[in-house]
Structures are given as structure tokens and as C-alpha cells.
Amino acid sequence: MRVHRTLILSLIVSLILAVPATALAKQLIIGGSTSVLPLAQKLATAYHKTYPKIPTPKVGGGQSDIGISGAASGRFDIGDSSRNPILNVDPHGLVFTKIAQDGICVITSPQNRLSNISQQTVVGIFTGAIRDWSQVPGAQASGPIDLFDRDGASGTQDAFQHIFLGETLKISPSATEETSNGLEQNAVHNDPGGAGIGFVSFAYTAGVNAVGYQGVACTLANAKSGQYGGVRNFWMVTKGIPKGEAAKFIAWVTKAGNKTVRAIVNSSWIAIH
């Protein structure tokens, strides 16, 4: 009986050793920022295509704070964030790895094709000092402004406030909060009379009017050239130094000279190397 058990155990061990290491790789769980989501999904698909024996990472959306807290708790192997790390706010022991840069566009309805907006007007509208489109140069809408914001867990909101409003001003509490880029995009697009205005990531400007800022059109080309000022960082967040499959994936994403990643990033975002 003992000999029989020994033979069975030996067979099991032999079978395990015979399986390639890549076949035993765990599926990465990635979640967080809806701004990073389209890029993360493309990277995950390309990673599996490059390494077919490694499961395609499972990528979900949410918000930057969800990505950060999910990485800290271990719910995510990698958290996605579209805001910079915040000292004494983010959980201790996290590692933020920059993977790309993105632009934030002020958006209006196609019915209100505002071509440009000044810093002064952005501040006036989003702090609530300017409440009617008659006060906005170049506006094609009339009547009260419908202001849309992202909720407090959003990295896009954090970046918008720092880039467009500065360190002290805040978005008016009268603004309607949306929980994702897509919802804000739809809210502005569908707002009656073209009265809505908000802000989204580059990847969510289809079907809405991306407004130029300070005389510079909100385009990928202008962001890459440095002319457009509304640019922020994309991060992958891990609990401590990346390990195992998370380390392999992040190393693949950030490897200098990775033509696959560079092509994906440069299609809609700004590569960091």
C-alpha cells in the first residue's frame, strides 16, 4: 500500500514538473481608473498575444481611488490610477509605476461647439461664478449652464482641479457628479439644449465637442508636442515592489524599446519612453 501511494505521489510530482511554468501562471486582476481602462485593456490583450500561455489579465474599471485601495488590500494585483500619488493620503507601502500620459479635455455638447476657453472662463464656470452661457465668449448655447463633475474618488477630477483650477479653488458643489468618464461623456452629449459642460480623458471625446484651452486645441498631437497644457500621468499601482506575474506584466509594459506597447500607447496616449 505504501509503495502504491509513493508511486502515485511520484507520478503527480512528475506531471507538475512536466507542465511549463507559463501554464501555471495566475491570471492577473487589474482594476481602477476608467481613464486608464481603455489602455489597460489593449495592453492586456497584446500581452496575451505576445505570451499565449499566460492568461489574459482581467481588467476592470472603477475610479483611481478604487484602484489604489484595491492594490493596497490585495483585491487587485495591479491598481490603475490617473492621478499622482498623494503623500499621507494613500495607503503606506504602495509603489506607483508611471506607464503613460493622458490629456484632459473640457467638453461641451455638439449643439454648443465652443472652440476655445480661457483660464479665467474655466475658473468662472467650474467654480460657479459664471452660471449662464451668455457670459461665455463664443458659446452657441443660451440659458443656464449645466455643470458636470466627477466624484471625489476620480483621478480625472483630481488632475482637472490641479491643472485647470490650481491648488486652492474647488469645483462648485452644485455640479452634477458622475462616477465615470463614460457617464460624464453621455451626460454632456445628451443634456437638453446643449447646456452641459464637463471634462473627460482623451479616450472619451467621441460624440462631444472637445474645447480648446488657452488657444490650443485639445488634441493628442498638441499634447505630445507640449503645446496643450492639460496633461496628466497614468500609473500602475502595486502593494510593495511588483512581484510574480504583476512584475512580469509591468516590466513588459515599461520596457524601453517595446514596439508593441509603444504602438498601443501612441495611438491615443503619450508614451513615457
How far apart CA 80 and CA 179 sit, in angstroms, is 15
In sequence order, what are the residues at sequence separation of 6 or more whose Cβ sits closer than 8 angstroms to the Cβ of residue 134?
A: 142
- Dihedral angle, C-alpha 271, 202, 220, 106, nearest 10 °: -130
What is the share, in percent, of the chain residues with pLDDT greater than 90? 89
State the pLDDT at residue 56: 97
- Checking if the pLDDT of 7 tops 90, the result is no
Q: Chain-wide mean pLDDT for the chain? A: 92
State the DSSP code for 56: P
Rg (CA), the chain: 23
How does pLDDT run across 92-137, given as a tens digit for each residue? 999 999 999 999 999 999 999 999 999 999 999 999 999 999 999 9
State the pLDDT at residue 212: 97
Phi/psi of residue 194, each to 5°? Answer: 65, 30
The candidate with the shortest Cα–Cα distance to 258, out of 242, 247, 102, 266, is 266
State the pLDDT at residue 13: 38
How does pLDDT run across 224-247, given as a tens digit for each residue? 999 999 999 999 999 999 999 999
State the pLDDT at residue 24: 60
State the pLDDT at residue 271: 94
Q: Which residue has the cell 467654480?
A: 127
State the pLDDT at residue 14: 47
Domains located in the chain, CATH noted: 27-101+234-271 (3.40.190.10), 103-231 (3.40.190.10)
Whether residue 54 contacts residue 23, with contact meaning beta carbons closer than 8 Å, is answered with: no
State the pLDDT at residue 273: 76
State the pLDDT at residue 272: 87
Phi/psi of residue 95, each to 5°? Answer: -115, 125
State the pLDDT at residue 16: 40
State the pLDDT at residue 128: 98
Long-range pairs for 192-196: beta carbons < 8 A, 24 or more residues apart: 193/111, 193/141, 193/142, 193/143, 194/108, 194/109, 194/110, 194/111, 194/112, 194/140, 194/141, 195/109, 195/112, 195/133, 195/141, 195/143, 195/144, 195/145, 195/146, 196/108, 196/109, 196/146, 196/147, 196/148
- Checking if the pLDDT of 3 tops 50, the result is no
State the pLDDT at residue 115: 97
State the pLDDT at residue 11: 42
Whether residue 36 contacts residue 269, with contact meaning beta carbons closer than 8 Å, is answered with: no
How does pLDDT run across 246-273, given as a tens digit for each residue? 999 999 999 999 999 999 999 999 998 7
Number of other CB atoms surrounding residue 98 within 10 Å: 13
Across the range 43-70, mean pLDDT stands at 97
State the DSSP code for 161: I
State the pLDDT at residue 4: 46
How far apart CA 226 and CA 54 sit, in angstroms, is 37
How does pLDDT run across 143-158, given as a tens digit for each residue? 999 999 999 899 999 9
The candidate with the shortest Cα–Cα distance to 95, out of 261, 243, 232, is 243
